[in-house]
């Protein structure tokens, strides 16, 4: 009761000043007072075109807020007083006192009274946005795309010049004529124009949540439709707030970097490539007696913890990540055959997803660099100078777990017109026969058997779906402040739901090991994708 009296007193004080006394006149009296009206138009919101996922779900402009335009009268104050913040309500009272139109955010309240009009306004970004490293961000000062899809499709996303305007009439002193109507004028504001991506919003959300749960440090995750080579999720951690990009520019952990497209030391996920090459050349029956270490070219190479695996075939060697087995296998295979197979599977290749989203080429050493048994031994378990991006590894595994065909990965499906009509890209994808179909089937089988091994207990999905994968703990040659070598952790694998095959690659910088850091993330994503696709 006390607050009502205070507000009413403030209103009466405002209304009885010389400048606002006319607001107590009726509309008819106001017009008859000889005030000449002029139309005034104000832009209250401008937005860029949409960025859609593969199901036409929006990845930007997702958040809607409700704003109200209110005439300067007591009725407006009565209608809005419980739907504005305290600061906004004071601004409303102030505008009433000046005879000016009020425009401000409500708590979601909507009405279409004569004195108050409400409208929904889009917010480009919000805190819980998905795929920020893919969609990118804009420079708010000039509405220009800075990176990602925002930059690659900058012209298209600005093309409709989408505006929401507010029109009202004022007198010669710029005070609102309360007898005239106020109205919102959308100019392409609700246009459907935009870009459609291969990203699946639900899989992107699943992947981001899994990374937050297990790896809120520096890392990345890529999920691909293995049959179509389409990117369904791309995550880089840590993420960033697109409304305040400046604060991240000097961050040590580089949140603005898209780690899914950055090249790193690979490690043992490359052993699947060695296995594929060996199967191609008839070495799939190779058996080796692992003693825990082996001397090659004057260098000693150990298995993990120098454990002796004894008589080992390809399946158990992959499950135990036996370095000495794969070194011996690579020496039998030869550098030329191994490098050719790795090249066919996408290593050393740059992937251009669109103009501003380009992956590193990584580094596949040329044959003249792998000119000694020691260099070949290093390459056999993914070490030495070999570098690859999470996207490259995912693309490689897509070929290995399907029919052996490799295509360039795709991110953009096409563009959407103002009316919502869709124009699919003419996909001139480079397609190569990376592996014979029977070789790919054997590699897939090897990866599947891995998940039956005790080493992969943290990776096996909870549901009865075909799945497989390989861990990796890669030496980097970098050393931290404590003098210990920095390791990178990986898990690369697949899960099948019905006829759909998904490849999931998880990466973590400065990790402890693929089984500890990345396998649980693979399992979490696999489980959630299985549930999602079964319910779709």
Structural domain range at position 152? 39-196
Residue 167 sits in the same domain as residue 215:
no
Measure the CA–CA gap between 183 and 526, rounded to whole angstroms. Answer: 50
Assess if residue 2 is contained within a domain: no
What's the rounded mean pLDDT across residues 195-220?
96
140: domain CATH number is: 3.90.1310
pLDDT of residue 428: 64
Question: Do residues 207 and 174 share a domain?
Answer: no
Q: What are phi and psi of 43, to 5 degrees?
A: -80, 120
For 123, 380, 402, 433, 461, the CA distances from 437, given in Å and listed in that order, are 48, 23, 8, 9, 26
Q: Taking a C-beta distance cutoff of 8 angstroms, is the pair 152, 354 a contact? A: yes
Tell which wins on pLDDT, 82 or 306: 82
Q: State yes or no: pLDDT of 6 exceeds 80.
A: no
Q: Within this chain, do residues 86 and 227 fall inside the same structural domain, yes or no?
A: no
Contacts of 189 (CB under 8 A, 6+ apart): 45, 47, 122, 162, 163, 164
93-137 confidence digits (pLDDT tens): 999 988 889 999 999 998 888 899 999 999 999 888 899 999 999
Q: Is 207 left (phi over 0), alpha (psi -120 to 50) or beta?
A: alpha
- Do 483 and 358 share a structural domain? yes
- Average pLDDT for 225-250: 93
Q: What per-residue confidence (pLDDT) applies to 37?
A: 64
Report field, pTM of the whole predicted structure over 0.85: yes
Quote the number of domains for the chain: 2
Q: Within a domain: residue 249?
A: no
How many other CB atoms sit within 10 Å of the CB of residue 419? 8
Average pLDDT of the chain is: 90
Q: Are residues 89 and 172 in the same domain?
A: yes
Query: What integer pLDDT is reported at residue 26 of this predicted model?
Result: 28
Beta carbons of 413 and 480 less than 8 angstroms apart: no
- Phi and psi at 450, nearest 5°, equal -55, -40
Under the banding of pLDDT at 50, 70 and 90, the label for residue 502 is: very high
Pair (202, 189) in one structural domain: no
Q: Give the whole-angstrom CA distance, residue 347 versus residue 432.
A: 13
Q: What is the number of H-type helices and E-type strands within the chain? A: 17, 27
Q: Please report the pLDDT score of residue 216 as a whole number.
A: 78
Burial category of 40 from C-beta neighbours within 10 Å (exposed 0-12, middle 13-18, buried 19 and up): middle
- Kindly state whether residue 353 falls inside one of the protein's structural domains: yes
Lowest mean pLDDT among 3-7, 379-383, 473-477: 3-7
Give a yes or no: residue 21 inside a domain. no
Contacts 24+ apart (CB under 8 A), 19-27: 19/98, 19/99, 20/96, 20/97, 20/98, 20/99, 22/99, 23/72, 23/73, 23/96, 23/99, 23/178, 27/178, 27/179
Determine the Cα–Cα distance for residues 280 and 292; give it in Å rounded to an integer. Answer: 27
The alpha carbon of residue 254 and the mean position of all alpha carbons in its chain are separated, in whole angstroms, by: 16
Tell me: pLDDT of 334 over 90: yes
Asked whether residue 419 is domain-assigned, the answer is no
pLDDT at 305: 74
Residue 13 within any structural domain of the chain: no
pLDDT higher than threshold 60 for residue 12: no
> Half-sphere exposure (CA, 13 Å, Cβ side) for 521?
33
Same domain, 107 and 216: no
The span from the first CA to the last CA of the chain, in angstroms, equals 54
Q: How confident is the model at residue 429 (pLDDT cuts 50, 70, 90)?
A: low
Tell me, yes or no, whether 417 lies in a domain. no
Phi/psi for 527 (5° steps) reads -60, -45
Query: What is the predicted pLDDT for the residue at 15?
Result: 38
pLDDT of 27 > 50? The answer is no
Of 185-189, 451-455, 498-502, which gets the smallest average pLDDT?
A: 451-455
For the stretch 263-288, what's the b/e string if a residue is b when 16 or more beta carbons lie within 10 angstroms of its beta carbon? Answer: bbbbbbbbbbbbbbbbbbeebbebeb
Q: Is a pLDDT exceeding 90 seen at residue 490?
A: yes
235, 191: one domain = no
Q: Are residues 460 and 335 in the same domain?
A: yes
**pLDDT over 90 at 474, yes or no:** yes
What is the average per-residue pLDDT within 488-503? 97
In this structure, the answer to whether residues 223 and 74 fall within a common structural domain is no
pLDDT of residue 38: 87
User: Is residue 90's pLDDT more than 80?
Assistant: yes
- Report the phi/psi class of residue 489: left, alpha or beta, with left for phi > 0 and alpha for psi in -120 to 50: beta
Please check the confidence at residue 259 and state whether its pLDDT lies above 80: yes
Cα separation, 335 vs 243, in Å, equals 50
**pLDDT in the model for residue 129:** 87
Q: Is residue 1 part of a domain?
A: no
The answer to whether residues 182 and 489 touch, using CB atoms and an 8 Å cutoff, is no
Q: Quick check: 452 pLDDT over 70?
A: yes
Distance CA 147, CA 129 (A): 16
The mean pLDDT of 379-396, rounded to a whole number, is: 97
Residues 407-411 have a mean pLDDT of: 96
Distance from C-alpha of 37 to C-alpha of 31, rounded to nearest angstrom:
9
Question: Same structural domain for residues 263 and 376?
Answer: yes
Q: Is the pLDDT of residue 507 over 60?
A: yes
Sign of the CA dihedral running 207, 211, 213, 216: negative
Which range is least confidently modeled, 169-173, 189-193, 380-384?
169-173
Q: Pairing mode, if any, of strands 183-187 and 50-52?
A: unpaired
Q: Rounded to an integer, what distance in angstroms lies between the CA atom of residue 85 and that of residue 81?
A: 9
pLDDT of residue 34: 37
* pLDDT classification of 33: cutoffs 50, 70, 90: very low
Beta strands per DSSP E along 342-452: 352-354, 357-358, 387-388, 405-407, 412-416, 422-424, 431-433
State the number of CA atoms in the 13 A half-sphere of 429 facing the CB.
Answer: 19
Query: What percentage of the chain reaches a pLDDT higher than 70?
Result: 93
Q: What is the mean pLDDT of residues 185-199?
A: 96
**Candidate ranges 240-254, 356-370, 418-432; pick with highest mean pLDDT:** 356-370
Give the CATH number for residue 347. Answer: 3.40.710.10
Mean pLDDT of 260-279: 98
Q: Does residue 312 carry a pLDDT above 90?
A: yes
pLDDT at 170: 85
Residues 327 and 404 in one domain: yes
């Amino acid at each position: 009761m006390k607050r009502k009296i205070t507000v009413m007193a403030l209103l009466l004080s405002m209304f009885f000043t010389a400048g606002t006394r006319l607001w107590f006149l009726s509309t008819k009296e106001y017009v008859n007072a000889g005030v000449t009206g002029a139309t005034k138009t104000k832009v209250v919101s401008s937005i860029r075109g949409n960025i859609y996922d593969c199901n036409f779900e929006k990845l930007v402009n997702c958040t809607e807020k409700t704003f109200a335009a209110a005439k300067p009268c007591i009725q407006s104050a009565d209608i809005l007083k419980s739907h504005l913040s305290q600061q906004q309500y004071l601004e409303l009272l102030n505008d009433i006192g000046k005879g000016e139109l009020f425009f401000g955010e409500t708590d979601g309240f909507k009405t279409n009274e004569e004195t108050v009009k409400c409208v929904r306004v889009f917010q480009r970004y919000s805190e819980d946005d998905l795929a920020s490293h893919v969609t990118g961000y804009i420079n708010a000062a000039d509405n220009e795309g800075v990176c990602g899809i925002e930059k690659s499709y900058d012209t298209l996303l600005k093309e409709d010049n989408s505006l929401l305007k507010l029109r009202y009439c004022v007198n010669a002193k710029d005070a609102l004529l309360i007898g005239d109507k106020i109205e919102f004028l959308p100019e392409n504001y609700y246009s459907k124009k935009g870009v459609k991506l291969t990203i699946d919003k639900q899989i992107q959300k699943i992947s981001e949540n899994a990374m937050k749960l297990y790896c809120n440090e520096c890392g990345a995750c890529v999920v691909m439709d293995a049959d179509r080579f389409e990117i369904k999720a791309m995550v880089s951690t840590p993420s960033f707030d697109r409304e305040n990009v400046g604060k991240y520019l000097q961050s040590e952990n580089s949140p603005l970097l898209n780690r899914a497209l950055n090249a790193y030391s690979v490690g043992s996920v490359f052993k699947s490539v060695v296995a594929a090459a060996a199967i191609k050349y008839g070495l799939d029956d190779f058996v080796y007696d692992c003693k825990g270490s082996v001397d090659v070219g004057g260098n000693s190479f150990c298995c993990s913890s120098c454990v002796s695996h004894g008589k080992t075939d390809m399946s158990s060697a992959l499950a135990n990540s036996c370095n000495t087995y794969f070194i011996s296998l690579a020496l039998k295979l030869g550098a030329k055959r191994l490098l050719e197979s790795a090249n066919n599977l996408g290593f050393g290749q740059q992937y251009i997803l669109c103009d501003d989203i380009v992956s590193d080429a990584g580094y596949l050493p040329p044959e003249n660099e792998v000119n000694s048994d020691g260099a070949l031994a290093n390459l056999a378990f993914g070490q030495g100078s070999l570098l690859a991006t999470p996207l490259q590894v995912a693309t490689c595994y897509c070929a290995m777990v399907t029919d052996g065909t490799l295509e360039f990965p795709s991110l953009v499906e096409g563009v959407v017109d103002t009316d919502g009509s869709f124009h699919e890209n003419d996909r001139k994808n480079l397609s190569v026969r990376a592996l014979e179909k029977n070789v790919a089937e054997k590699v897939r089988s090897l990866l599947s058997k891995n998940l039956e091994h005790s080493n992969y207990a943290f990776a096996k999905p909870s549901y009865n779906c075909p799945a497989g994968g390989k861990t990796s703990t890669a030496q980097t040659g970098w050393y931290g402040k404590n003098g210990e070598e920095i390791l990178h952790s990986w898990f690369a694998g697949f899960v099948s739901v019905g006829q759909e095959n998904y490849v999931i690659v998880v990466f973590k910088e400065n990790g402890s090991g693929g089984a500890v850091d990345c396998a649980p993330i693979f399992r979490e994503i696999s489980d959630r994708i299985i549930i999602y696709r079964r319910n779709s």
